Structures are given as C-alpha cells and as structure tokens.
Structure 1
Amino acid sequence: MTDTRVERQNESASGHGGADGCAVPSDVLALIGHLLNASGAIVLREDEVEAVVEAVGGESPLEAGVRIPTSGCLTRGRRLEGGLVIRDALRHDSETAQVLRDVGIRSMLGTGLACEPDVRAMVCVVDREARMWTRAERRLLRGVTAAASRLRTGASRSSTGGKSQLTETPEDLGRLFRFFDEEPDASVIATADGRILRCNPAFARLFGFDSADDARGEKLIQLERAVGSFDGILQRLQRGEGLDTEIFAVQRLDGEPTEVLATVKGSLDDEGRLYEIRAYLTDITEYRRTERALRGSQELLRFVEEATRDVLWVWDLADDSLEWNNGGPRVFRYTPEEMRHSIDWHVQRIHPEDRDRVIRSMHAAIQGLTGAWTAEYRFLRGDETYASILDRAYVVRGMRGEAIRVIGWMLDVSQWREAEEAHRFLSNASAVLESTLVVDEAVQAIVQECVPYMADLCRIDLIEDGGVLQPAACSAELKSEQEASVADLLKKLAPESDYDPFPTVLGQQECVILPVNGNGGRPDGSNSGSTSPVDQIHSLLLIPIVIRERTIGLFALALSDPRRRFQAVDLIRARELAHRTGLAVENCRLYETAKGALLDREELLRFVSHDLKNPLHSILSAVTLARDLEPDRRNDSRRWLDPIKRAADQMRQLLDDLLDSASIESGNFSLVSGWHSFHQLAETACEILRPMAQAGEIVLLCDIEPNPPSVWVDFQQYLRVLSNLLGNAIKFTEPGGNVRLYAKADETEATVSISDSGPGIPAEEMDKVFTKFWQGRPGDRRGIGLGLSIARGVVEAHGGRIWVESEPGHGTTFHATIPIQTAHAQAEVPVETRPTSGVSSPQ
C-alpha cells in the first residue's frame, strides 16, 4: 500500500514478540475464522502508537507485518484476559477504521490475548462483509482465544499426494477442537475430492450419520440432491471463489431432502491447486418451510386485500407511527407517498362531525375500558370526497397490561350506505307518489324530492296528446326557464353542440349524460359574473320515462356544483325513479279516466232514471186513480190493477237504488239530518215490516231499551237501512222462525242489531256482503244486490259503523250504529250543508 498509515514490517513476526509467546499458529487462526464464519483471523500487538499484525490465518486481507496506526485505542483501558476489546471497529469514524476499510475489511471482532507482562495483544476475526456480531459469536471468540493462548505447539500441515491431514495436537489444541465439536451448527473439513477429514456432531446429526467418527472418510458428493451441484462448488473453489452464506438443497443419507445455509471456503497450495475444503452449515429446512408457509400466508393476505378492498393499519403507541397495507392508497385514492405514517394525519382526515366521537372511543379502548374497538365514521379521500368507513381494531398489550400498539382493519362501506340511502330515497319517493292521484301534484312532489339528493336542478316533461313534449314540473331554480322546451334549454346550455340526444332518449329509450359549458351558453367560457344555478350547469342527465315499452315523458337532472359528478350508480337510481314516476303518472291518468267514466255513468243514470220516472209516475198515478174511482167494480179488475201497481213500485225502488248507489260511489250523496227519537226510528222499522213477517209466518220481535236518547240522523235514509236489514232477515228465514230487532245506546253511540234464525252466510262470502250486486241467493229476482251496499254508504255517511256476524246453520246478525252527538255541536252546522263522513253535500 502507498498510504503512509500502513507500513510493511520487513523483519519477521518473531522480532515483535512472536517468540515471546504472543504468536498463534496460522492453522489455529484459520480455524477461529472458520468457526465464526469470517474471512480470517489475525493477531495484533499494540503499543501507544500503532498495532502490528503478528500472525494471520484463513483468507485475511491483512498480511503479517502490517502496521496500523491506532494510538493505543484498541486495547487501552480494557482487561485483556478474556475481555472483549472491540466489536465493530468499522462503525467508528476513526483513522483506524479508515485504514481497515482501505484494505477491504468491513467488520472486525477482537478479544484480549494473554501474553507476557506489559504486552498488549489481541486476536481479531475479520470479514470482508459488513455484519453485526452476535452475543454467541462474541462468547465463542473469547473461548477459543483463551484456549489458543495456552497453546505451545501448533498444528502443521504436511502434503502427501495432494492430501491434507492434521498432526497430533497437545491438550490445549484438543480443548480448542472441543469448541469446534460443541458448536450447534454443522462444520466439516474435507479434502479436495470431498472426502471428509473431520466434522462435528452437529454435521453428523444433520445428514444422518451415527456419529462424527462414522462420517470420516465419506464423500460429500453423496449428500448432493441435484446431480452436478458439488462439482459446481469445486470449480468455484478452484478459481479461488468462496461461497458466502448461500442456500443449498442437499439430502440426508436416508434420502430426506434438507436445505442448508452454507459458507464454503477452500485452501490452495503454492501451485494454486485446491487441497482443502471447509464448510459451515446451518439447517434451515424448518425455517424455509415456515418461510414458504409465511409467503403463502402473505400471498393469501394479499389476495384477501385485493378481493375485499380492506385497509389494514398498525399504530405503534410508542412513537405514534402508523403503518398501512397496500390497500390504503387504493381504497382512499391517495398515492403511496401521500399516505403519511402518522396518527395525526389519520385523525385530521376524519370528518369534523365524527372526529371527537372517534377519538373518545379509541382512548377508552386504549385505557382498558373496552377490549376491541369499533367505530363508523367518514374519512376524507384523496379526491376531497368522504368515504363511509367501518373501522375495527384490537389493542395489543404488554405483560403489565399496558397498551403497546393498535391493529385495525378499515372496511369501506360507502356503497352499502349509499345503497341504504338510495333505498330510503326511493321509498320516500314512492310514498310521495302514492299520496296523490293528481298528475301535476305527483310530478312536482318528485321534483322536490330529487333536489338536492340526486341533482342540483330537476325538470320533468310529459308527452301530451299529439306527441308533444310539454313541461310538467321543475325545481325552483328552473322557474325562469319553465315555459321553454327542454330542447331550447339544451340549446342554450350547449349552443355549439350539434348532437341531438332526443332520438336516443325518447326513441331508443336510453339514458344520456351531456357535458355542457357551465357558463350560461357562452362558448368562450365566461359567464359575466352570473351566479345563477342555470348558468353554472356543467352536466345534464336525461332519462326517458317508459311505461310498458312506451315513452311517456322525459326526466332531466342537472348539476351546477363543480364538486359533483354523475356516477354509474346515479344512472341506476335515476332510471328506477323515472320508472316509478311513470307508474304514478299512469295511475293518475287512469284515475282521471275512471273518475270521468263514473261521472259520465252517473250522468247517464240520472238522465235514464229521469226519463223512466216520468212515464213510471204516470202509470202509478193512472193505476191509483182507476182503483180509487171504481171501488164498486168487480174484484177481477182490482186483481189486474194491484200487480201493475206492485211492479211499478218495484221499478221505482230499483231506480232509486241505482241513483243512490251512484251518488254514494261518486261522493255526492247528501243527508237531510235532524234530531229524532231513536226509539221511534226502531219502532217504525218494525211496524213497516210486521205485515211481511206475518205473511211469512215469522215471529218479529222488537226489543228496545227504555229511555233511548235522541239522535242526529236523516230519519228516512236510516229508516231505509233498518227496513232493508229487516226485510233481508225475513226473506231468508223459514216459516216458523223468528227475527229480532234489538236497540240500545251508551254514551258514544246507539246500536241496532237485527238477527234471524236463517241458514247463515258461508265464511267465504263474508267479505263480499257489502259489495255491490252481491246476493245471498244468486238469481233472486226480488232485487239486484244494492241494498246492503247502500246501507253501508248511508251508515258511514252518518259517521257510524255497520258489520255482520254469521255462522252457517245458526243465523245471521247485522249491527248498525249512530254516533251520539250533542245539540250544541250540531247547531253550528247547517242541515243542508253538513259533511257526512267524507261524502260532500250539495248546497
């Protein structure tokens, strides 16, 4: 070397104390280097200025006689006898460290060597690779150095036929080899052709030999798993290349595969031929198996992360550092560099409305108040939107129960929450649509529901007669543009666009998203300072309203907030909302059509009944007059006139029933109410129907509790109800049976119950009793089945209730009630205009 810091010593090592007992044989130094898996070992003797290399062994980069300036720093102040002197000199920024680095040494470990008094010497193992020395290596170096310091004779090598053998060693050298034998890792020394000269018991156990002595003389080649691998090692050693900590696949004597971490060194003679092989092996079979399992687990975890899109985080409470898995940037839309490893960064991205709650609950978990921790909150993404997060964590604690770290798993539930919100929105929209049967009210209500949940502005156009698209409803921001057609509005928003979306939307029934200028129709991008939401529209979503494959309108949603964008899920929601709106519009139109048909039918009935009543009245008048003017005529004349009168009365009753049924159904049925005796009402009904009961040989009982109150009632209409119920009871009771009318009253209502001993009503017919045209006996020509339907309408018009109880074979009972009202309450309402249970009364 040219550096003046290192000078070669020309005299022999004995001139510097080698003969004084500080020298260690080179074979022993090579063995020490081998035992510590290092490049080699050296003996240094140091004074106050420098250290001199007295002996070398193995593949040490230093040669004997080299001087190293140290100023006594290596051994000064240290106990030499068995004491560790230096662990890693190259970690210090010193002149000594620089010199060692210049010759290729990257690591050095030394300990004191016992010599003569006042002589400071040490044995150092050196390595060309940077490494940290373990406690076991330091302990091993102290042991073998203590044994080497008591050696008086060394090992020598004799070469015979290219083979190498060790001569007999004294007791101290035997102690050194015991360190070799007691090493937990496998070591072996072999000839150039691979014949084992010496190995330790760990090597024998690793490869299945009975003992180290049994392994001697065996060939290493029989331990290779792949043919040719041993030859490849020999070629590298012959070229002077050592094998530093490489993994080899080998096999035991029984053929079981094994993996080892090996360091293999070779010694060359003066002619450059390989004469000795030294190998240091560590069995890593179990480690490699565990490593593969761990790699499989990591791969599985990675697949789980990819499949679930979850985010794993670990918070170290000691330094507040935070580690993320690979899912963090992907889920939260940050770059890996933007994902900071600080808990403060995490906390700052929690929504301000959720932050205090989340922090309090987390601190409670850390302080031991709860075990696991779960919270749902909003987390700021990299694109300035918030994700709904379900965060679950577990607090890892030490031996004393103190919190060490927190391991958490974040699940993005934004889509679930959005789906819940969409379902809630559509449910509310359906309720709004079902609350009215007027088209204008329905579409205006749905527009108000859409803003601002689905869009900033909304408009609905419906196709009217003639196929013309007409505005039906719009949000408040579009009132100024309400009269303009949607085509004109689109032209205003995108004046330079030649694209016509209406064939696609209305013809092909597909949704279309249109980007527009967002500047009030100015192609240059300026809006003259306008803050109108219409002028700020930047995106327009057009959805066809389709019912039974027929387009009936157009649903338009617009965004003016630059932070909002239409997503794929918005198209799904908008299409569903448009479909429900279309159903509501169709139902409203059908209702209007049905209502018109009912009005037309009622008008027809009025016209027909009016035209029929006039000739019918003439017939009744003529028959009555004929009967009255000729009382002395023969009985055969009256025999012809009476049937005519009964037929005419029946026709008049049928016409009245048809008119009343139509009036009740259309809501135009009116009452003329007053205060009447409840007792008189019930008694009158019995008297009217008593002749009919007597003619049928039926017992009619009229049971009225004493002192009933007066009721506010349309006497004739309610009498009609009771007469109808009594008439039906008599009609369905066999001769010899009985019919009973029972009337009672309490503080809230008066009740009339009419029961018979007839055959009863089948259970499957009970829900049809009060429907129009139902008859207890199908084909009965004495009525058309409107009596009970009209009875229910009259009772409900009074604010009462009517119901039936029946058991086949045990008769039927009908109940009808009248609310008890005070005279003061009724005096405030004129008789002719009083509403009757939702049925309007004409003036």
Structure 2
Amino acid sequence: MTDTDVHILLVEDNAGDALLIREWLRDAGWLPGKLIVADRVASAREVLATATIDVILLDLNLPDSDGVDTVLQIYLAAPQVPIIVLTGLDDQTAALGALKAGAQDYLIKGRMDGALLARAIRYGIERKRLEADRERLRERLEAEHERLRFLANAGVVLAASIDFEETLASVASLAVEFLADYCVIDIVEEDGEIRRLQVAHSNPEMADIADQLLRFPLDRNRPHLVSAALDNRQATIVREITDEVLQSVAQNEEHLRILRALDPISYIAVPLLARDRLLGTLLFVSCSHSYSDGEMRLAEELARRAALAVDDARLYRRAQDVIRARDEVLRIVSHDLRNPLSTISMSAEILMDENMSFTEEQKLRQLRIVLRSAERMNRLIGDLLDVSRIEAGQLSLDASYHAPERLVGEAIDLHQAQATAKVLSISGQVEDGLPPVLADRDRILQVLANLIGNAIKFTPEGGTISVTAENAGDEVRFAVRDTGPGIPPEQLSNLFRPFWQGRRGGRDGAGLGLAVSKGIVEAHGGTISAESEVGTGTKVSFTLKPASERRGN
C-alpha cells in the first residue's frame, strides 16, 4: 500500500483545523488519497459501516461526544482500523485514557506538523497490521493446538477397544464434540455390502431425529452424499447444501423430511482406507457454518487413524476366529485320530491274547479292521499335510491329459457302493464334445471324492446325487449336486475356509475336505464355488482349463 492509496477518515468539527490537516497531508504526500471528513461521531460511524477506511484521525471533542467516550465509540465501530487522536488539549490523563480505549497515537494540534502527522499515520497503520498478523498467528496456533488435542483424544479413543464397531461409535461421538453437528458412519462388510453403523448428533434434542437416518441405509443405486468417498475413494467437501441436493439424495418423502429437519449447511465425506481396502465412509455435517479446507484436512486425518484402528480390530477378530477354529480342528483331529488308534490297539490286543484261538477268517477280519483304521488315519493326516502345503504354496501336481467323462465315471464308480448302501441314486452326465483337461488325475479325483463324499454324508435316504461336466466358455465346469438339507446363506462364504466347519448335522471327520479341494482347484488355475438353498440341496462346482488352452500357455 502506497501513501496515495490510503483511505483516511478525518473526524473533525472545526472547519479550519480540517483544512489545515488536509494541507499537511498534501504536503506530506498522502494526497491525492481518499480523504473523508465527518464532523460527528454518528456520521463517522455511518462512513465506517459503508466505506473502506485505512486510518482514522479523530478529534476528541465533538458535538455528539466528548473525551475518551469518543474513542470508544469509534473503536467499537471499527476495531480493525488504527485511530490517531488529534486534540488541542495537552492532558496526559486524557492521552492515556485514549490509548487504553483503543487509539494508536495521541497528537496535540499545537505541536503537530505534516511530517509528524505522516509518521503517526504510517506508524499507526503498520502497528495495526502487526497486531492483526499477531492475532491471526494466535488464532492459527490455537486452532493447531485444538487440532492436536482433538487428534490426541482420538488416539486414546481409538486405542480403547479392539471391537471395531465400538471404535467407530466412539469416533462419531468424538466428531460431534469438535468437528461436526452430526456424523454418519457407513461400513463395508466382508461380503461387500454396506451397512449404516452409527449416527451421532451434538445436540441431544436433535439426536432422536438424527437416529432416524439409521432406517435409511445407503443405496448405491441412488445419489448419496458420500458418492465420491465410496466410489472414487476421495475425500469431498461441499460448502453449501441446497434443498435441491437434499431432494436428490432423499430416498422418499419421509427421508427428505428428516434431512430438512436436521438443516445441514455443509458436509465433508471421507473414505476409510487401510492397506488399499475400502472399509467404509465418515460423513461430517455442519449445521452452523461452511466447512473450511483446514477442517477437511482434520477430517481426513481422523479418518486415516480410524481406518487403521478398524483394520487392526478386524485383523484381531479374524485372528481370534482362526485361533478358535484351529483349536476346534485340533480337538476334532485328536478325537478322530484317537478313535482309529483305539480300534487298532484293541484289535492288536485281541490277536495277541494267548488265551484265545482264532480261525483264519477271524484273524483276517481283525486285520481288515486294523487296515481300515490305518487308512482312515492316513487320510486325515494327508488332509492336514495338504492344507499345510496349500497355505505354503507348495502343492505339487503331476498333470497329464484326461477326458472329463473318464474323471466323472471313475469318481462315480468309487462311490457307487457307498451311495447304494445309503439308498441314494448317483448318476453322471457329461456334455458331448468336451476337450480333455490337463490335470493331476489323482488330485482331481480327490476333489470329486470330497464333494461326492459330502453329498452322500448329508443327503437323506432316497435322495439323488448328480455329477456333471459341461462347457463353460473357455473352461470345463465340473459339478456335484445333491438333494440334501442345503446350507444357510450366511455359511456359504465360509465354506472353503481351512479352519471352519458348518453345522449341517452330525460331525464326521475334521472338515478339511473343501479347503483342500479349493487349494487343488486353484493350483490348477481354476475356481470353485457353491450354491445352496435350504431345504432343496447344494451344488458345488469347479472349473478347469481345457488342455488346448493349457498347452498354448
């Protein structure tokens, strides 16, 4: 700002003094600048309300005000503008009073000239600028202090629980204390579904209204406030929420009524991201002001910390589930090994009893029992070793070309007697013209044996089992379908986990067969999946690449 750019308000009721001051300003080089003259406090206040003023030259004694009160009135009208008092009174008490009331300087008209007035103006403007800079710095430091305090509190809250739902509920409560009037949290479940987890409001009187948002879960097929955060994984700030925006995201009239009742002004939507995975979104809504970029950065930092805490909590929960499942499997394996081992021991004791005589047929019967028990133990140990190899990525394959109809036929032949004994009908159907598959025969028969064995185990007497092979585009799809009791939908996603077993009836075996089957199929480059309907039956299918494609690769 140059001297000629300064806008000066001279509050002086003496026309002669006003003319003299104008001349001094011109001589000192402050004119041509904009000089406005007011002869009363009232008219000066009107000027300050409508015009941009850089400095005020103020006479203490005016027709509508006198003394320090004059300074106070002008200061309250424009506290950001420097005031230089011009008076004919050489009164130290009055000077101190004026300075305490907000004046930057105090000049006596009889001892003043243009140079002195020019220095006072420059000093007053510069001092006011420095005061403004200091105040802005103080505000920034206070804001930074509050930000750090908020994040420190957030750290304590996030570390307080290993339950991620409790953690996010605490985040919502913390957000409405410092960052938002209300906060909405949506999470992405393991299966990709979105669930509205928490809504919190800073005003207890509005909490019931905000809680009604829980009845309107996020619909990805409709516009919603967290679209960018959810779809593009980017934080978004909207500084003004119009009624048109509310209408566009409302799912129905009741939803719109609730949104309008909350009276939002601005919002920030932030994704919860950890290890490049989307865990959910945080929506911060202000009903009092438009959000700033600084508040958006704070929201992003809170979301980053919350996402890490949620990810840790989920990993901990998953680890605990695995540990519990492992312990359960170990218990089952111990039991399943102990049973055939006891049988072997009993048969051996019978054969070694010198007080008993056996026919050759009786001896062979006991030896067959020992052999079957040993084979059962060997199968269980083999499954455990296969799971270990699969998890280590060390499952080896001995692949060659095999016709799908041969694989299906062999699998059915191996289980025909078992199915007949349970009064089950088992059949095979292979689409004509299927190409051979490049596969490890024994491993694929192991997969089919696991699937058919499960079907026989869970299908009641009189049921049917079908084994099929068909063309599936650039793959061959094998499937085993049964008419058993079916599997509940909530269990399907866990069906192929190594240390998990559903509850479809009595337990027979350690339940590792499907995990092993999944590993074998994926080692062949295929996929395995299950479809089921409770009360109707289950279909488990897997795919293999045709030999021609595998040969080309």
Question: Structure 1-normalised TM-score?
Answer: 0.27
Question: Structure 2-normalised TM-score?
Answer: 0.39
- The structure in which a higher percent of residues are strand is 1
